[in-house]
Amino acid sequence: MITDTEIKTKGMQILSDYLGDVEAERFIALIQREPFDYTKWHQEQDDSMTIEELSEHAMALRKKLEQTTK
């Protein structure tokens, strides 16, 4: 099991890698400003999309992010 500090560090690195530093900071600010129940959100996402749709959405987002970082 990793420490809370390691989770925070890895999380910020992932956000920065995929969103860029500015957007990662904006994401954190949004999460802190608005109440957010990840578990509820995740359950709602699972109910509204099939696995295939979720996978297609994730692949499209990844492709878009890769294109914007080139």
What string of pLDDT tens digits covers the 70 residues of the chain? 899 999 999 999 999 998 899 999 988 888 888 777 777 777 776 666 777 887 788 888 888 877 876 6
Coil, strand, or helix at residue 64?
Answer: helix
Q: What pLDDT is stored for residue 49 in this prediction? A: 72
For residue 11, CA distances in Å to 17, 52, 56 come to 10, 26, 23
Amino acid at position 35, single letter: P
For the residues of 9-40, what is the DSSP string, one character each? HHHHHHHHHHH-HHHHHHHHHHHHHS---HHH
d(CA 70, CA 54): 25
User: What range defines the domain where residue 17 resides?
Assistant: 4-69
